Amino acid sequence: MAIVAIWYAVSAKNWFTGPKIQGTESGLEAIEEEYAEGIVPPEL
């Protein structure tokens, strides 16, 4: 278990940086409007 803790402290903690923003608020609103109008079918 100590080996995993050391590995995480040295290496893995740099891989996981959290969510990243991939667009603008207006772009998201446009996509949501298309879904609401039925233009874009939801993915299964």
- Matching residue, tokens 């409007």: 33
Give per-residue pLDDT as tens, 10-20. Answer: 887 777 777 78
pLDDT tens digits, one per residue of 2-44 = 888 888 888 877 777 777 888 899 998 988 888 888 776 666 6
- In the prediction, which pLDDT does 33 show? 87
42: three-class secondary structure by DSSP: coil
Q: What is the pTM of this model?
A: 0.41
Tell me, what's the pLDDT at 12? 72
Task: Give 16-31 as a DSSP string.
Answer: -------S-HHHHHHH
Contact present, 42 and 35 (Cβ < 8 Å): yes
